[in-house]
Amino acid sequence: MTRTMIARVVRVLAALGAAAVVVSLTATETIPRMPDGHPDLQGTYDLATLTPLERAAGSSLVLTDEQAAKLERQAAQQVATGDAPLKADRSAPPLGGDGSIGAAGNVGGYNRFWLDPGSHYTMLDGQRRASILIDPPDGRVPQVTPDARQRNTRAVRATSDQQIRENDPGLEPEGSYDDPERRPLGERCLLGFASTSGPPVLPNYFYNNLHQIVQTRDSVMILTEMVHDARVIRMNAQHLPKTIRRWLGDSIGRWDGDTLVVDTMNFTDKTRFRGSTENLHVVERFSRVDARTVRYQFTVEDPATWTRSWTGEYAWPATKDLIYEYACHEANYALEDILRGARLKEKETKR
Amino acid sequence: MRIGFRRAVLALSAAACGALLSAAALPLASQGQTPAYRAPRTPDGKPDLNGIWQALTEANYDIEMHMARPAMALRQGPYGPLPAAPVLALGAVGSVPPGVGIVEGGEIPYKPDALAKRKENQEKWLERDPEIKCYLPGVPRATYMPYPFQIFQSQGAIFFAYEYAGAVRNIYLKDPGPPPVDSWMGQSVAKWDGDTLVVDVTGFNDSTWFDRAGNFHSDQLHVTERYTRTGADVLSYEATIEDPQTFTRPWKISVPLYRRLEKNAQLLDFKCVEFVEELMYGKWRKKPLSGE
Amino acid sequence: MRSRLSILAAAAGVVMAAAIPVLAHHAFGGEFDPNKPVLLKGTVTKVEWVNPHAWIHLEVAKPDGTKEEWMVEGGTPNTLLRRGITKESLKIGTALVVDGYQARDHSQLRANGRNVTFPDGRKLFLGSSGTGAPTDGADPTEGRGRGRGGQK
């Protein structure tokens, strides 16, 4: 370009007030953009990952290539074991339960082929991450307040060998089967389990970790497969009055350069992310790493629950897979069977 | 005489051509009236359907034109139908308002055995209407239930989110092939026909109803929707219903959708699943509530 | 044997190959009875491809020749749909063997699908990873990431 041509271009751009856009274009030319110049975050993403929320206290955030490879191989081996054929003439499982722990409830749950928990550790900044949590720097969720400890009598108790043999998996305190309202929100088909819709949006380490983003002039919509929740982030808007509470909180968004910053508060008192209260406050930051990947970062705070705020991040890689309908309540045989089962057990115990 | 005849024929033909031409010049949507509304465009040149829309109709009670009725669940009284016992306490709040209907031609063309089943649905409304259990409403019922829904439209994506039961529909712009399993909301594939968004919906299960009057379908249901902006705040909605197992022929509904204009218009949570737990599971509580 | 398995699992924190991992998902232990193990050999009469759990209906012949209709609980179908499985994939009449535990309400012929296999012991729905034979109904040419995406 000649000097006069350059000068003319600069004048035109200045007149259009597009100087900021020009700067960011040259810095991140590979990311797709909306017509208004903001990054295009749209797409369908599969968040499944082996990276857990927390890591061993004080261990490194970054896995070496060898560590990651070894762990991923182990995970792949578990899949192969789970998919391996059984003997043709097997017998019924053991009387009294098969010893499987946790939610598998001593009855063995179901086969591995139903699962899709992910096969890789999440990669950001060229690092394979050992945890989603990046702050506190030791990789652990901060201590809960004494208030929270008292409030959350639903805390998971370690199971003893004795308790494993009991019919009740021992993960839940007494009374957990008394009413439908005491069951987990996922079991009631009110919200997906493991904060799959959040916020904060987390991998659930089981299946159906797909999410879709659709972006319009005044909204960003995030669809979570379970339970077909469409969270609408109202751009450049005000929060709802405090009397209006929402299952996923009330989300408002704004652009900070090329980062979408979403502020969510006004949760219901039933949402209770990790035992938190309706005063949970989540700030999320979405930005594009490249045309295929969104970086998702979140900061969580609730002074009534944690002694300080905490932050995590992981990658959302795009997928060509489709999100399918997850109608949950419509065929929720399990909830009725669980409650009925508890009533029968009580009758038996009385005898 | 012959010249006069030929001239007359020519004149008639010219007039006919002129009439045809002027008819063609008028946009199809409003022949003989004002020119069709031209909606603002999205950056990729398509009519902008973004917004929060809602139907203003009694169709969710009964999509056919109907008189007011005492209740949705009835019993025979000494002088005619009365509200059935389970809904009696609702009084007039539980009554059915009249409606001009949204079915073009007035009546749904049921096959005889299907018509009998509709009557049965009406008699067993409390057990059978999926709305009572907060089940996903299906298409087209979700469109004309009296709650808002939001259309998200960008280049490359169209998505509908309904306030009722948090129902959602991903409107594919690229056909993903036949739906692998049946679903409540079906699989939607869309294309533009001029300024009309045409949405082809297949892959339904047989579990949704069209309204609270027992109107139903089989899993052969195929719905073709047409969305057209006809004004700044009006979206015309038409849907063709095909189901050879239930109806003798395809039939159509049409109802305008209006933009919610409140400054704070937005979808709020209507997770009614929670509200139906007592009805569905109350008897399995450790201490069932007394039936007062 | 059982206590050895549970000690192993607790010590290594390892996910048991046949069972689902430890996390609050849904209380199988509340729904099914560990004191009622079952081994069902039957043929498929119906498959409910529904969430949150698919249900496979089996016609099981009892020793005395009478037939029983059992329902076997599986996982979410959505994972399988992304692997190319459709509602046609598990055909009516397919012979299956299921081991699991019966529902706590013993009047219900329901069981968890702890292991659902073909009579020769092969697991179902593995067409995409190549370990399933065409008889499982899955199209062997379909796989993950079919690229059917309807969006950009």
How many CB atoms sit inside 10 A of residue A154's CB? 15
DSSP class per residue in B219-241: TT-EEEEEEEEEETTEEEEEEEE
Averaged over B124-147, what is the pLDDT? Answer: 98
Chain B: list its partners (3+ Cβ pairs within 8 Å).
Answer: A, C
pLDDT digits (tens, 9 = 90+) for B210-254: 999 999 999 999 999 999 999 999 999 999 999 999 999 999 999
Binned at pLDDT 50, 70 and 90, residue C16 comes out as very low
Cβ-contact B243, B255 below 8 angstroms: no
pLDDT digits (tens, 9 = 90+) for C107-150: 999 999 999 999 999 999 886 433 233 333 333 333 343 333 33
Q: Which of A10-19, A236-245, B274-283 has the lowest mean pLDDT?
A: A10-19
Q: How confident is the model at residue B3, as a pLDDT?
A: 54
Cβ-contact B151, B50 below 8 angstroms: yes
3-state secondary structure of B57: coil
Please compute, for residue A246, the number of CA atoms within 13 A of its CA located in the half-sphere on the CB side: 26
* Interface predicted TM-score (ipTM): 0.88
pLDDT of residue C99 exceeding 60: yes
Pairing of strands A250-256, A229-235: parallel
**Is the sign of the CA dihedral A225, B160, B245, A322 positive or negative?**
negative
Taking the CA atoms of residue B58, residue B59, residue B63 and residue B64 in that order, the dihedral angle to the nearest 10 degrees is 20
- Could you tell me which residues are beta bridge partners of residue A33? A39
pLDDT of residue A113 exceeding 90: yes
Q: How confident is the model at residue B190, as a pLDDT?
A: 98
Averaged over B55-78, what is the pLDDT? Answer: 98
What is the spatial distance between Cα B292 and Cα C102, in angstroms, rounded to a whole number?
36
Averaged over B261-270, what is the pLDDT? Answer: 97
Q: Which residue of chain B comes nearest to A36, CA vs CA?
A: B43
Mean pLDDT of the residues in chain B: 92
Nearest to C22 by CA among A104, B284, A283: A104
Q: Looking up tokens 């209407």, which residue turns up?
A: B129
Binned at pLDDT 50, 70 and 90, residue C26 comes out as low
Binned at pLDDT 50, 70 and 90, residue C27 comes out as low
Cβ-contact A316, A288 below 8 angstroms: no
Q: Which amino acid is at A121?
A: Y
What is the spatial distance between Cα B174 and Cα B197, in angstroms, rounded to a whole number?
14
Using CB atoms, which residue from B184, B207, B284 is nearest to A336?
B284
pLDDT of residue C1 exceeding 50: no
SS (HEC) of C68-127: EEEEEECCCHHHHHCCCCCCCCCCCCCEEEEEEEEECCCCCCEEECCEEECCCCCECCCH
What is the spatial distance between Cα B98 and Cα B95, in angstroms, rounded to a whole number?
10
Interchain pair B271, A247: CB under 8 A: yes
Q: Torsion-angle region of residue B26: left (phi > 0), alpha (psi -120 to 50) or beta?
A: beta
Binned at pLDDT 50, 70 and 90, residue C28 comes out as confident
pLDDT digits (tens, 9 = 90+) for C35-86: 999 999 999 999 999 999 999 999 999 989 999 999 999 999 999 999 999 9
pLDDT of residue A293 exceeding 60: yes
pLDDT of residue A150 exceeding 90: no
Interchain pair A180, B153: CB under 8 A: no
Its CATH architecture, for the domain C33-121+131-137, is Beta Barrel (2.40)
Q: Which of residues 151-210 of B touch C (CB under 8 A)?
A: 155-157, 170, 172-177, 180-182, 189
Mean pLDDT of the residues in chain A: 88
Q: How confident is the model at residue B223, as a pLDDT?
A: 98
Nearest to C74 by CA among A49, A333, A242: A333
Q: How confident is the model at residue C30, as a pLDDT?
A: 80
Q: CB neighbours of C128 closer than 8 A, spacing ≥ 6?
A: C83, C84, C138, C142, C143, C144
Tell me whether A114 touches chain B (CB under 8 Å). no
Dig out the tokens for B210 from the structure. Answer: 């069209």
Cβ-contact C83, C144 below 8 angstroms: yes
Binned at pLDDT 50, 70 and 90, residue A316 comes out as very high
Using CB atoms, which residue from C48, C51, C101 is nearest to A328?
C51
**CATH superfamily name and code, B51-57+135-262:** Calycin beta-barrel core domain (2.40.128.20)
Interchain pair B180, C149: CB under 8 A: no
pLDDT digits (tens, 9 = 90+) for A27-61: 445 799 999 999 999 999 999 999 999 999 989 99
Cβ-contact A329, B135 below 8 angstroms: yes
3-state secondary structure of B266: coil
Q: Which of A183-197, B8-22, B198-212 has the lowest mean pLDDT?
A: B8-22
Min Cα separation C2/chain A (Å): 6
Q: Where are the domains of chain C?
A: 33-121+131-137
**Is the sign of the CA dihedral C43, C46, C49, C52 positive or negative?**
negative
Q: Which of residues 23-82 of B touch C (CB under 8 A)?
A: none
Min Cα separation C63/chain B (Å): 35
Interchain pair C21, A42: CB under 8 A: no
- The residue among A158 and B18 whose pLDDT is bigger is B18
Residues, chain B: 292
pLDDT digits (tens, 9 = 90+) for B155-205: 889 999 999 999 999 999 999 999 999 999 999 999 999 999 999 999 999
Structural Rg of chain B based on CA atoms: 24
Q: Where are the domains of chain B?
A: 51-57+135-262
Q: Which of residues 238-267 of B touch A (CB under 8 A)?
A: 266-267
Q: CB neighbours of A282 closer than 8 A, spacing ≥ 6?
A: A198, A199, A200, A249, A263, A264, A265, A298, A299, A300, A301
What is the spatial distance between Cα A208 and Cα C4, in angstroms, rounded to a whole number?
33
Helix A3-16 × helix A19-27 angle, to 10°: 110
Residue of C20, C23, C86, C129 to mutate for A, most A C-beta atoms under 10 A: C20
Binned at pLDDT 50, 70 and 90, residue A4 comes out as low
pTM exceeds 0.80: yes
Q: Alpha carbon B2 to chain centroid distance?
A: 59
